[in-house]
C-alpha cells in the first residue's frame, strides 16, 4: 500500500468533506432550535450566493475589488437577516404550536418562494464568482519543512496523479517507471484534491481556505452556543418550548436569531460552493450531499455535522479510488448514501446525535 | 438576596370571577380569590378540579373567557407567559419541564435570562460587560444551588437526575428569576416521604428567607395544610372553600368533595 | 521572644510569620475555591479565640466541635487550644443520643456547630444537659426565628471577639505563651465496638511529635495538596488534616459538601491522600461499572492495559526489573489508559496515598498500585496518635502493615498480641481509670488488642483480634479470621467459618456465593435447582477445593501459620443467615452460635467419615420456619509443606 498516495486521497476527501459540513451545519442549527428539517436550506444557499454575486456585478469595476467584496458581504448579510426575520414573522409565528409536519411543509413552501424570488430578482444566468483565493496547490510537506527528497519521492509515489483534470493541473506529470497495473487505476483525482508532485504533497489553497473558514465558523458557533446567554436561550428553546416560555425566553427572537445564523452559514457555503461550481440554480442541489452527512453525524450536533462531513468526504474519495475500479467505477456519487443507509440501520441517531429513547 | 422577613402584606394577586372553558368543557367557573404578599397560598382539590387550569391562567398559558386577574394592582385580561415572567411570575410544572439536555447550572442560569441586559441582540458586541454580568448572575445562581443543596449535581444533565432532584432543580430555576410570585404545580407529586419533607422545608425557607409569595397546587391535602397560610379548595372547576387550613379541613363541603359524595 | 513551636497555637503563630502569604486552607463555597492564607487564618483564629473567651471559655474547659470539615470548625479547634481549652470533635452524623453521651461525659459548656441540623441536635441534648450553655453556629440558614438563649452565630462571636481584643490587647499572645507540650491538646472519643465511647486524651507532645515523625518518614512538604473530607472526630483526620498541615505547613482543602467529594477531589488533585479501604473500593467499583458500560474499544483497551499493569505496574513502582516490552506497553498504557483514568479520579498528582482503619482487599490495593499510585498501608489507633507501623516506599506488601514508625517500639506478647510504646501513646481515657489500666501498662505499653507477628523482613503482619486467636493442640497459632478472610477473597466464597482452637488441625465450613458459583456452573453446563443442590455437587467441591488449597499454599509460606492449614472442609447446604441468628445484623459470623448449631458437622470434620448428617431449622423468606435435613460431603484438602523447611534442607 502506498501511504503517500493514500494520504493524498484521504486529505482530498477530508477537504471536500469540509464543504459538505458547511451545508449540513445550516440544517443542524434550525433542527436543534425547532425540531424541523428545513427544506429551504438549499434555497438559502442559492439566495445568498445570487445576492452576493449580483451585488458584486452591479458595482462592476466602479470600486476596488476588496471594497466591493466587503460591501457585498455586508449587504448580503443584511438581506439574510431580513429573510430570517421575515421567515419568523410571516411563516413561523403564525404556526406556533402546530405539528412539526406543518412546519416542515412551510419550509417546503419557503424553499419554492426563495428560489423563485432569487431568480426573479437576480435572473437565472450562470454567474462566475471570484473570491480571490487561488486554486493553485501548495506543497504541504514543503511548507511544514518535511519536503521529501526526490529519491524518496521516486520510490514512494506509487500511483501518480495520472490526470489531474481540473484546477489542480499544476500537478507534475507522472514519474517514469510507474508500474503498469498502477496505470490501470483510472484515477479521477478529485477536482481539487492534493496531488503528489516530485516534491511531495500538494493541496489546493482554495481547499485549505475553505477548511479554515469552516473551522472558524464552527468554532465561533460552538462558542456562541455554549458560552453566551443567547446560546443558552437557544439551547433552552431547543430543549423544551413551554419551559422556555415560562422562564421568559421570547421564542420569536430566538427563532429569528437561529434563522439568521443559518442564513450566515448559507452565505458562507454559497460563496465557497459558488466560486467552485459557478452561481446557478443547481447550487441549491449541493444540499443533497448534506443529507448523508446529517445522517452520519446526527441531526442535532454541530460537531456531528463536521465529523459527518469529514467521514462522508473521506470515505467517498477512498471508495472511489480503492473500491471503485473493482466494481466498475464512479461510485462516488452513490457511496455516501450507502454509508448513510448503514448508519440508519445500526445507529439511527448518528455519531453525535441524541439517543432516541422512546419511553413506553 | 434580600433578607426581608415575613410579614403578610397587601393583596398581590386578585382573581375575580374567572371562567375558562375548552370547547364545551368548563374547566373553571366563576372562581375568585386573592393572595397576599409573603403568603403561602394553596389551591387544592381532587384530580380534575381545575387546579392546573387556574395556575395556567395566572401564568398566561391560558386566557380565561371571563373575569379579570389583578396582579400588582394591574387588572389584565390577557398576558403572555414571557410577559408574566417579566413581571415577576415564575413557576414550576407538574410534569417537570426542565431543559433535559442542559446541565443543572445552565438550567438555573436560564432562570436569570430576564434579569440580564435587556437587548437580546447586543450581547455579542459587548463582550466585556456581558462577561462581568454573567459572573454576577452566576454568583446569584450559586447561592441558589447552595440554598437547595444541589452542589453535587451542578454539572449533571438535568434529564439524568432522579425525579425528586429534578423537582428541586426546577424550583431553583424558578427562584433564579427572583420572582415576586412563585407558582408551584404539585411540587410534591410522586415523591417519597423524605423528599416531601425536604421540599416542604425548601418551600418554607424560600418564603421565609426571600419573602416570596407562593401559590401551590396539591391534590394531597396532608402536607399542604401544614405549610399553607390559606387554602382555596376547588371542585369541578368551582371554588367550594377558602380560608385557614383548619377551617377548611373541617368544612363539610370539602370533606364531601374528597370523599367523593355526589353532587 | 522565640518559642519552641511545640503546640498548635505556637505553630500557628510561626506559620503566620514564616509562610504568612501562603495558602493555609481552602473551601469550595458557591462553586468557587475560597482560600485563606496562614496570616488570614491567624486573624480568624484570634477573633474566634477572643470571642470564646468573651462567652466564658476557660483554660481546661472542653469545647465541642460538630460538623463537616469546614475551615471555621478547624479554626474553632485551634482557637479553643489558643485559650487553653480542649477541643472535642464530635462525629457529625451521630444521632442525638450518641452525641449527648459525649457532650455530657466531657462536661462541655460550649459547642461550635456547623449548621441548623447540628444545632437542632444540640438543642435537644441541652434540654437534658443544661450545662451546655452556649451553642455557636457557622451557617445561620433556617435559624432566623430561633429564640433559644445562648445561641450565637460565629459572625457575632467574632464581633464579640474583636471587642474583647480591643479591651484586652495582648490577651491572645499571652494565652498562647502559656501552652506547653505536655498539655492535653485534644480529646477524641473512640467509637468502641462494645460499651460507651472512651475519651482518649492526647497531649500536644503526643500529636505534634507523632505528626513530625510521620512527616519525616514520608518526606511530606509544605507543598502538598490535601483534601479534608473524613470526619473531624476521627483520629485519622485529626492527624493527617489538622496536625500535619500545622506542622508541615501545607494547604488543606475542604470539599463543598459530602456529596461532592469525588468532584472536588478531581479539582484539587491531592498529592497526599488518606482514605479508609471503603473509599478505594467505591472508586474501583464505579470505575469497573463505567468500563463495563463503555464502548467496545474503550473496554477492550482498559482490560488489555490493566493486564499489563497487573503484570508490570507494581514491579515498576517498587523499582524492580521489568522486561523492555512490558515497560513499553506500560508506558503506552500510561498514555492511553492509566493517565486518563487517574486524571478522571483526581489522583494524577497523588504522590502518596494511605489506607487505614481496616484491612484492604489485596485486589483493590494492587489495582491502585499497578496504576503507579504509591498507595500504602498504615497501622495505628487513636490511643497511639495513629502511627504504629508504616510502609516504607518500595517495600510494600499487601498483607503486612510495614515497619514500626519512627520512635515506635513494638513487642509481641506470648498470646500474639501486639504491644506498642511510642511518643504518641495517650495520657488516659477521660474519667475512666479502669479502661485506661486495661489498655495501657504502668510503664506505657499499649495493648492494641490485635494479634500479629513480624515477618522475615521485619514487617508487621496483623492476623486477627488477639482474643480470637487460639492454638492448635500441637501449639501452632490459629487465627480464624485471618484464614476466613483469605478464603473470602475468592469470589466463589461468600462466608467461611474456621475451627481449630484446641483441636488437632484446622477445618472449615464454607458458604458458596450463589451468584458467582451459579455463574460458573452455567458456563460449565451444570444444572442445579437450588442452593443446596449446587453446594452438594462434586464439581463444585472440586472448584472450592482448589480455593482451599491455594489458601493452604499461602499459609504454608508463613512458618508460624503453616501448621494451621485447612485439613478438612465442607460446603454448607444453606447460606448463613442473620434471620437464623448465624450472622450479626452487620453480617459478621457468630462463631460460637454456629459451632453449637452445627455440632454434628464439626464432629464430622474431626472424624474420619467422608460425610456428615445435619438437621437444622431454617427461616424461609416468607417468614415460615422449617426443618432442613442434609447429608454433606466432607473433603480433605492437600496441605503444603512449610516454605521454610525445604530451604533448610537444601542448605
Number of domains chain A is built from: 2
C153 and C77 in a common domain: yes
Last-in-domain residue among C465, C495, C524: C465
Last-in-domain residue among C425, C443, C465: C465
pLDDT in tens, B25-52: 888 999 999 999 999 999 988 877 888 8
C369 and C482 in a common domain: no
pLDDT tier at C392, thresholds 50, 70, 90: very high
Domain that holds residue C44: 8-253
What domains does chain B contain, in order, with CATH numbers? 1-88+179-263 (3.40.50.300), 100-178 (no CATH)
For the ranges B59-73, C89-103, C482-496, C609-623, the lowest mean pLDDT is seen at C609-623
pLDDT of residue B144: 93
pLDDT of residue A165: 40
Residue C631 near residue C613 (C-beta atoms within 8 A):
yes
Is a pLDDT exceeding 50 seen at residue A273? yes
Q: Flag if B145 and C141 touch (Cβ within 8 Å).
A: no
Is a pLDDT exceeding 80 seen at residue A61? no
A228 and A277 in a common domain: yes
Pairwise pLDDT comparison (C441 vs A173), residue with the higher score: C441
| Most confident by average pLDDT, B9-23, B169-183, C141-155, C479-493 | B169-183
CATH at C500:
3.30.300.30
Q: Which residues of B touch C (CB under 8 A)?
A: 5, 138-139, 142-143, 145-147, 149, 151-152, 154-155, 201, 205, 208-209
pLDDT of residue C356: 80
Q: Which of B59, B134, B173 sits opposite A229 (nearest CB)?
A: B134
Q: Please indicate, yes or no, if residue C206 is contained in any of the structural domains.
A: yes
φ, ψ dihedrals at B178, nearest 5° = 45, 60
C485 and C613 in a common domain: yes
Q: Which class for C404: exposed (0-12), middle (13-18), buried (19 or more C-beta within 10 A)?
A: buried
Q: Cα distance from B151 to chain C (closest Cα, Å)?
A: 7
Strand B11-22 versus strand B66-71 pairing type: antiparallel
A286 and A176 in a common domain: no
pLDDT of residue B127: 60
**Quick one: DSSP state of residue C153?**
E
Q: Read off the pLDDT of each residue in A68-76 and give the average, rounded to a whole number.
A: 86
Is a pLDDT exceeding 50 seen at residue B4? no
A146 and A47 in a common domain: no
Number of domains chain C is built from: 3
Q: Read off the pLDDT of each residue in C355-379 and give the average, rounded to a whole number.
A: 87
**Which is nearest to C115 in space by CA: C52, C62, C68?**
C68
Residue A44 near residue A263 (C-beta atoms within 8 A):
yes
A58 and A95 in a common domain: yes
Which residues does chain A have within 8 Å of residue B177's beta carbon, measured at their own beta carbons?
A: 247-248
Q: Which three cell numbers stand for residue B162?
A: 432522579
Q: Which of C31, C259, C263 sits opposite B145 (nearest CB)?
A: C31
Q: Is the pTM of this model over 0.80?
A: no
Q: Please indicate, yes or no, if residue C213 is contained in any of the structural domains.
A: yes
A162 and A26 in a common domain: no
pLDDT of residue B22: 84
Is a pLDDT exceeding 80 seen at residue A232? yes
Strand B11-22 versus strand B25-36 pairing type: antiparallel
Q: Which three cell numbers stand for residue B51?
A: 387546579
H/E stretch holding B34 reads: strand B25-36
Which residues does chain A have within 8 Å of residue B100's beta carbon, measured at their own beta carbons?
A: 239-240
Q: Is B221 on the interface with A (CB under 8 A)?
A: no
Q: Subunits with at least 3 CB pairs below 8 A relative to chain A?
A: B
- Give whole-number Cα distances, C131 to A137, C48, C100, C108, C127, in Å: 89, 21, 12, 7, 9
Q: Please indicate, yes or no, if residue A338 is contained in any of the structural domains.
A: yes
Q: How far is it, in rounded angstroms, from Cα B40 to Cα C647?
A: 84
Q: Please indicate, yes or no, if residue A38 is contained in any of the structural domains.
A: yes
pLDDT tier at A90, thresholds 50, 70, 90: confident
Q: Which of B142, B147, B201 sits opposite C31 (nearest CB)?
A: B142
Residue the block writes with cell 496515598: C353
Residue A138 near residue A203 (C-beta atoms within 8 A):
yes
pLDDT tier at C154, thresholds 50, 70, 90: very high
pLDDT in tens, B93-117: 888 888 888 899 999 998 887 777 5
Q: Cα distance from B146 to chain C (closest Cα, Å)?
A: 6
- Give whole-number Cα distances, C341 to A111, C327, C333, in Å: 50, 19, 10
C48 and C87 in a common domain: yes
**Which is nearest to A18 in space by CA: A227, A213, A151?**
A213
Q: Flag if B209 and C257 touch (Cβ within 8 Å).
A: no
Q: Which of residues 212-231 of A touch B (CB under 8 A)?
A: 224, 228-230
pLDDT of residue A190: 40
A230 and A160 in a common domain: no
The mean pLDDT of chain C is 89
Is a pLDDT exceeding 80 seen at residue A53? yes
pLDDT of residue C311: 86
Give the residue on C whose Cα is nearest the Cα of B155. Answer: C263
CA C393 to the chain's CA centroid: 20
pLDDT in tens, C435-476: 999 999 999 999 999 999 998 889 999 988 888 888 899 888
Q: How far is it, in rounded angstroms, from Cα A174 to Cα A128?
A: 32
Domain that holds residue A169: 137-205
Is a pLDDT exceeding 80 seen at residue C10? yes
Q: Flag if A246 and B113 touch (Cβ within 8 Å).
A: no
**Quick one: DSSP state of residue A279?**
B
- Give whole-number Cα distances, C190 to A120, A127, C98, C327, C601, in Å: 89, 88, 12, 46, 39
Q: Which of A232, A246, A354 sits opposite B109 (nearest CB)?
A: A232
pLDDT of residue A215: 83
Q: Please indicate, yes or no, if residue C70 is contained in any of the structural domains.
A: yes
Is a pLDDT exceeding 90 seen at residue A329? no
pLDDT tier at C57, thresholds 50, 70, 90: very high
First-to-final CA distance of chain C: 66
pLDDT of residue C207: 96
C239 and C144 in a common domain: yes
Q: Flag if B177 and A244 touch (Cβ within 8 Å).
A: no
Dihedral sign, Cα of residue C445, residue C446, residue C450, residue C452: negative
Is a pLDDT exceeding 80 seen at residue A356? no
Portion of chain C with pLDDT greater than 90, in percent = 56
C130 and C20 in a common domain: yes
Q: Please indicate, yes or no, if residue A353 is contained in any of the structural domains.
A: no
Q: Which of B7, B148, B150, B151 to mutate to test the interface with C (most CBs of C within 10 A)?
A: B151
Give exposure, A180-219, as e/b (b: 16+ Cβ within 10 Å): eeeeebebbbbbbbbbbbeebbbbbebbbbbbebbeebbe
H/E stretch holding A5 reads: helix A3-34
A264 and A125 in a common domain: yes
Pairwise pLDDT comparison (A144 vs C90), residue with the higher score: C90
Q: Read off the pLDDT of each residue in C338-365 and give the average, rounded to a whole number.
A: 87
Nearby residues of C394 by Cβ (< 8 Å), 6 or more positions away: C318, C319
C312 and C165 in a common domain: no
Portion of chain A with pLDDT greater than 70, in percent = 76
Q: How far is it, in rounded angstroms, from Cα C225 to Cα C244?
A: 12
CATH at C402:
3.40.50.12780
β-pair partners for B35: B13
pLDDT of residue A321: 83
Asked if chain B contacts chain C via 3 or more Cβ pairs within 8 Å, the reply is yes
Q: Read off the pLDDT of each residue in B197-217 and give the average, rounded to a whole number.
A: 90
Q: Please indicate, yes or no, if residue C365 is contained in any of the structural domains.
A: yes
Q: Read off the pLDDT of each residue in C24-44 and give the average, rounded to a whole number.
A: 94
A246 and A120 in a common domain: yes
Q: How far is it, in rounded angstroms, from Cα C346 to Cα C280?
A: 13
Q: Subunits with at least 3 CB pairs below 8 A relative to chain C?
A: B
Residue A110 near residue A87 (C-beta atoms within 8 A):
yes
Q: Flag if C260 and B152 touch (Cβ within 8 Å).
A: yes
Last-in-domain residue among A180, A205, A230: A205
Q: Please indicate, yes or no, if residue A12 is contained in any of the structural domains.
A: no
Q: How far is it, in rounded angstroms, from Cα A143 to Cα A140?
A: 5
First-to-final CA distance of chain A: 51
**Which is nearest to C234 in space by CA: C89, C433, C23, C83?**
C89
Last-in-domain residue among C465, C499, C523: C465
Q: Read off the pLDDT of each residue in A137-153 and give the average, rounded to a whole number.
A: 55
Q: How far is it, in rounded angstroms, from Cα C112 to Cα C70?
A: 11
pLDDT of residue C295: 78
Last-in-domain residue among A205, A232, A257: A205
Q: How far is it, in rounded angstroms, from Cα B106 to Cα A149?
A: 55
**Which is nearest to A87 in space by CA: A67, A66, A117, A59?**
A117
A272 and A212 in a common domain: yes
Q: Read off the pLDDT of each residue in C183-199 and give the average, rounded to a whole number.
A: 84
Sheet strands side by side (includes C134-137): C86-90, C62-66, C110-113, C134-137, C151-153
Q: What is the DSSP string of B130-168?
A: HHHHHHHHHHHHHHHHHHTT-GGGTTSBGGGS-HHHHHH
Looking only at Cα atoms, what is the longest distance across chain C?
A: 88
- Give whole-number Cα distances, A64 to A74, A134, C258, in Å: 16, 18, 67
pLDDT in tens, A9-26: 888 888 888 888 888 888
pLDDT of residue C244: 95
Q: Which three cell numbers stand for residue C629?
A: 435435613
A165 and A30 in a common domain: no
Q: Please indicate, yes or no, if residue A6 is contained in any of the structural domains.
A: no
- Give whole-number Cα distances, A18 to A22, A285, A296, C541, C575, in Å: 6, 17, 14, 64, 64
Which residues does chain B have within 8 Å of residue C259's beta carbon, measured at their own beta carbons?
A: 151-152
The mean pLDDT of chain B is 84
Q: Please indicate, yes or no, if residue A313 is contained in any of the structural domains.
A: yes
Which residues does chain B have within 8 Å of residue A354's beta carbon, measured at their own beta carbons?
A: 101
Pairwise pLDDT comparison (C555 vs B127), residue with the higher score: C555
Q: Please indicate, yes or no, if residue C167 is contained in any of the structural domains.
A: yes
pLDDT tier at C649, thresholds 50, 70, 90: very low
Q: Flag if C257 and B149 touch (Cβ within 8 Å).
A: yes
First-to-final CA distance of chain B: 48
pLDDT of residue C488: 85
Last-in-domain residue among A205, A239, A255: A205
Q: Read off the pLDDT of each residue in A323-338 and give the average, rounded to a whole number.
A: 79
For the ranges A181-190, A222-231, C556-565, the lowest mean pLDDT is seen at A181-190
Q: How far is it, in rounded angstroms, from Cα B156 to Cα B102?
A: 8
pLDDT in tens, B80-89: 777 888 888 9
Q: Which of residues 168-197 of B touch A (CB under 8 A)?
A: 173-174, 177
For the ranges A56-70, C170-184, C200-214, the lowest mean pLDDT is seen at A56-70
φ, ψ dihedrals at A331, nearest 5° = -100, -5
pLDDT of residue A65: 67
Amino acid at each position: 500500500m502506498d501511504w503517500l498516495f493514500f494520504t493524498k486521497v484521504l486529505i482530498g476527501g477530508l477537504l471536500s468533506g469540509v464543504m459538505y459540513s458547511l451545508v449540513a451545519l445550516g440544517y443542524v442549527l434550525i433542527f436543534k432550535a425547532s425540531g424541523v428539517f428545513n427544506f429551504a436550506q438549499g434555497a438559502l444557499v442559492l439566495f445568498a450566493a445570487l445576492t452576493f454575486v449580483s451585488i458584486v456585478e452591479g458595482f462592476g469595476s466602479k470600486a476596488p475589488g476588496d471594497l466591493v467584496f466587503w460591501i457585498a458581504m455586508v449587504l448580503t448579510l443584511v438581506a439574510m437577516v431580513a429573510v430570517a426575520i421575515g421567515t419568523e414573522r410571516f411563516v413561523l409565528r403564525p404556526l406556533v404550536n402546530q405539528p412539526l409536519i406543518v412546519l416542515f411543509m412551510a419550509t417546503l413552501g419557503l424553499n419554492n418562494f426563495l428560489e423563485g424570488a432569487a431568480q426573479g430578482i437576480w435572473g437565472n444566468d450562470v454567474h462566475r464568482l471570484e473570491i480571490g483565493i487561488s486554486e493553485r496547490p501548495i506543497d504541504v510537506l514543503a511548507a511544514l519543512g518535511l519536503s521529501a527528497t526526490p529519491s524518496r519521492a521516486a520510490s514512494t509515489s506509487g500511483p501518480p496523479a495520472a490526470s489531474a483534470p481540473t484546477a489542480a493541473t499544476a500537478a507534475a506529470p507522472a514519474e517514469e517507471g510507474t508500474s503498469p497495473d498502477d496505470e490501470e487505476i483510472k484515477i479521477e483525482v478529485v477536482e481539487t484534491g492534493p496531488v503528489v508532485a516530485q516534491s511531495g504533497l500538494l493541496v489546493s489553497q482554495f481547499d485549505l481556505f475553505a477548511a479554515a473558514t469552516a473551522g472558524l465558523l464552527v468554532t465561533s458557533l460552538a462558542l456562541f452556543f455554549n458560552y453566551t446567554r443567547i446560546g443558552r436561550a437557544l439551547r433552552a428553546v431547543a430543549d423544551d418550548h413551554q419551559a422556555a416560555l415560562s422562564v421568559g425566553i421570547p421564542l420569536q427572537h430566538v427563532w429569528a436569531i437561529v434563522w439568521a445564523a443559518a442564513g450566515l452559514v448559507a452565505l458562507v457555503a454559497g460563496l465557497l460552493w459558488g466560486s467552485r461550481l459557478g452561481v446557478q440554480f443547481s447550487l441549491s442541489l449541493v444540499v443533497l450531499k448534506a443529507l448523508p452527512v446529517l445522517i452520519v453525524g446526527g441531526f442535532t450536533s454541530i460537531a456531528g455535522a463536521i465529523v459527518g462531513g469529514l467521514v462522508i468526504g473521506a470515505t467517498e474519495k477512498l471508495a472511489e479510488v480503492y473500491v471503485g475500479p473493482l466494481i466498475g467505477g464512479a461510485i462516488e456519487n452513490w457511496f455516501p448514501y450507502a454509508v448513510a443507509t448503514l448508519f440508519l440501520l445500526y445507529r439511527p441517531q448518528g455519531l453525535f446525535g441524541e439517543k432516541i429513547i422512546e419511553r413506553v | 438576596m434580600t433578607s426581608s422577613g415575613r410579614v403578610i402584606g397587601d393583596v398581590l394577586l386578585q382573581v375575580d370571577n374567572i371562567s375558562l372553558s375548552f370547547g364545551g368543557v368548563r374547566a373553571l367557573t366563576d372562581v375568585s380569590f386573592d393572595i397576599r404578599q409573603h403568603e403561602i397560598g394553596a389551591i387544592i382539590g381532587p384530580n380534575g378540579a381545575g387546579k392546573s387550569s387556574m395556575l395556567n391562567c395566572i401564568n398566561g398559558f391560558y386566557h380565561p373567557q371571563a373575569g379579570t386577574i389583578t396582579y400588582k394592582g394591574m387588572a389584565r385580561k390577557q398576558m403572555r407567559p414571557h410577559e408574566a415572567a417579566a413581571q415577576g411570575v415564575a413557576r414550576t410544572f407538574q410534569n417537570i419541564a426542565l431543559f433535559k439536555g442542559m446541565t443543572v447550572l445552565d438550567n438555573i442560569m436560564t432562570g436569570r435570562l430576564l434579569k440580564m441586559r435587556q437587548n437580546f441582540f447586543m450581547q455579542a458586541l459587548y463582550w466585556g460587560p456581558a462577561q462581568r454580568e454573567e459572573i454576577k448572575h452566576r454568583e446569584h445562581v450559586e447561592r441558589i444551588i447552595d440554598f437547595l443543596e444541589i452542589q453535587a449535581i451542578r454539572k449533571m444533565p438535568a434529564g439524568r437526575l432522579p425525579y425528586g432532584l429534578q423537582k428541586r432543580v426546577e424550583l431553583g430555576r424558578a427562584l433564579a428569576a427572583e420572582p415576586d410570585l412563585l407558582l408551584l404545580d404539585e411540587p410534591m407529586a410522586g415523591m417519597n416521604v423524605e423528599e416531601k419533607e425536604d421540599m416542604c422545608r425548601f418551600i418554607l425557607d424560600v418564603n421565609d428567607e426571600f419573602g416570596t409569595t407562593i401559590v401551590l397546587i396539591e391534590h394531597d391535602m396532608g402536607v399542604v395544610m401544614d405549610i399553607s397560610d390559606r387554602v382555596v379548595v376547588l371542585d369541578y372547576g368551582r371554588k367550594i372553600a377558602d380560608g385557614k387550613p383548619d377551617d377548611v379541613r373541617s368544612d363539610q363541603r370539602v370533606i364531601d368533595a374528597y370523599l367523593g359524595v355526589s353532587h | 521572644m522565640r518559642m519552641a513551636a511545640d503546640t498548635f497555637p505556637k505553630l500557628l503563630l510561626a506559620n503566620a510569620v514564616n509562610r504568612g502569604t501562603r495558602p493555609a486552607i481552602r473551601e469550595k463555597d458557591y462553586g468557587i475555591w475560597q482560600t485563606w492564607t496562614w496570616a488570614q487564618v491567624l486573624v480568624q483564629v484570634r477573633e474566634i479565640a477572643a470571642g470564646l473567651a468573651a462567652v466564658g471559655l476557660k483554660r481546661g474547659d472542653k469545647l465541642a466541635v460538630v460538623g463537616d470539615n469546614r475551615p471555621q470548625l478547624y479554626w474553632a479547634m485551634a482557637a479553643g487550644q489558643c485559650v487553653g481549652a480542649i477541643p472535642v470533635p464530635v462525629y457529625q452524623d451521630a444521632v442525638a443520643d450518641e452525641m449527648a453521651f459525649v457532650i455530657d461525659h466531657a462536661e462541655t459548656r460550649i459547642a461550635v456547630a456547623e449548621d441548623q441540623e447540628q444545632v437542632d441536635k444540640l438543642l435537644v441534648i441541652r434540654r437534658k444537659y443544661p450545662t451546655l450553655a452556649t451553642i455557636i453556629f457557622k451557617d445561620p440558614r433556617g435559624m432566623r426565628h430561633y429564640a433559644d438563649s445562648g445561641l450565637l452565630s460565629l459572625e457575632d462571636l467574632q464581633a464579640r471577639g474583636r471587642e474583647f481584643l480591643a479591651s484586652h490587647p495582648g490577651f491572645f499572645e499571652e494565652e498562647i505563651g502559656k501552652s506547653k507540650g505536655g498539655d492535653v491538646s485534644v480529646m477524641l472519643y473512640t467509637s468502641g465496638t462494645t460499651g460507651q465511647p472512651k475519651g482518649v486524651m492526647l497531649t500536644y507532645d503526643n500529636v505534634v511529635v507523632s505528626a513530625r515523625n510521620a512527616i519525616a518518614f514520608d518526606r511530606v512538604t509544605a507543598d502538598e495538596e490535601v483534601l479534608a473530607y473524613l470526619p473531624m472526630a476521627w483520629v485519622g483526620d485529626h492527624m493527617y488534616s489538622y496536625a500535619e498541615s500545622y506542622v508541615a505547613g501545607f494547604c488543606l482543602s475542604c470539599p463543598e459538601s459530602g456529596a461532592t467529594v469525588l468532584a472536588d477531589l478531581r479539582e484539587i488533585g491531592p498529592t497526599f491522600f488518606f482514605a479508609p479501604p471503603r473509599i478505594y473500593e467505591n472508586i474501583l467499583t464505579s470505575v469497573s461499572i463505567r468500563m463495563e458500560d463503555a464502548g467496545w474499544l474503550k473496554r477492550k483497551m482498559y482490560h488489555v492495559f490493566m493486564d499489563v499493569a497487573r503484570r508490570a505496574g507494581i514491579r515498576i513502582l517498587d523499582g524492580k526489573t521489568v522486561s523492555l516490552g512490558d515497560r513499553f506497553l506500560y508506558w503506552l498504557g500510561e498514555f492511553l489508559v492509566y493517565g486518563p483514568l487517574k486524571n478522571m479520579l483526581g489522583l494524577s498528582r497523588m504522590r502518596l496515598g494511605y489506607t487505614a482503619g481496616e484491612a484492604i482487599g489485596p485486589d483493590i490495593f494492587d489495582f491502585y498500585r499497578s496504576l503507579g499510585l504509591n498507595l500504602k498501608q498504615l497501622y495505628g489507633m487513636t490511643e497511639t496518635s495513629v502511627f504504629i507501623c508504616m510502609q516504607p516506599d518500595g517495600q510494600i506488601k499487601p498483607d503486612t502493615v510495614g515497619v514500626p514508625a519512627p520512635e515506635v517500639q513494638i513487642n509481641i506478647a506470648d498470646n500474639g498480641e501486639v504491644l506498642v510504646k511510642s511518643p504518641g501513646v495517650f495520657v488516659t481515657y477521660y474519667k475512666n481509670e479502669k479502661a485506661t489500666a486495661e489498655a495501657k501498662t504502668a510503664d506505657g505499653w499499649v495493648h492494641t488488642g490485635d494479634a500479629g507477628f513480624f515477618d522475615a523482613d521485619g514487617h508487621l503482619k496483623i492476623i486477627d483480634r488477639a482474643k480470637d486467636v487460639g492454638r492448635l493442640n500441637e501449639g501452632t497459632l490459629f487465627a480464624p479470621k485471618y484464614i476466613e478472610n483469605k478464603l473470602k477473597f475468592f469470589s466463589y466464597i461468600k462466608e467461611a467459618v474456621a475451627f481449630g482452637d484446641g483441636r488437632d488441625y484446622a477445618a472449615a465450613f464454607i458458604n458458596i456465593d450463589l451468584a458467582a458459583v451459579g455463574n460458573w456452573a452455567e458456563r460449565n453446563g451444570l444444572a442445579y435447582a437450588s442452593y443446596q443442590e449446587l453446594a452438594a455437587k462434586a464439581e463444585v467441591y472440586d472448584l472450592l477445593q482448589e480455593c482451599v488449597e491455594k489458601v493452604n499454599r499461602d499459609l504454608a509460606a508463613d512458618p508460624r501459620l503453616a501448621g494451621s492449614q485447612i485439613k478438612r472442609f465442607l460446603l454448607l447446604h444453606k447460606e448463613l443467615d442473620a434471620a437464623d441468628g448465624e450472622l450479626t445484623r452487620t453480617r459478621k459470623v457468630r462463631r460460637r452460635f454456629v459451632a453449637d448449631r452445627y455440632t454434628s458437622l464439626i464432629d464430622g470434620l474431626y472424624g474420619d467419615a467422608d460425610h456428615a448428617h445435619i438437621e437444622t431449622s431454617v427461616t424461609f423468606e416468607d417468614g415460615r420456619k422449617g426443618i432442613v435435613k442434609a447429608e454433606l460431603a466432607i473433603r480433605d484438602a492437600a496441605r503444603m509443606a512449610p516454605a521454610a523447611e525445604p530451604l533448610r534442607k537444601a542448605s
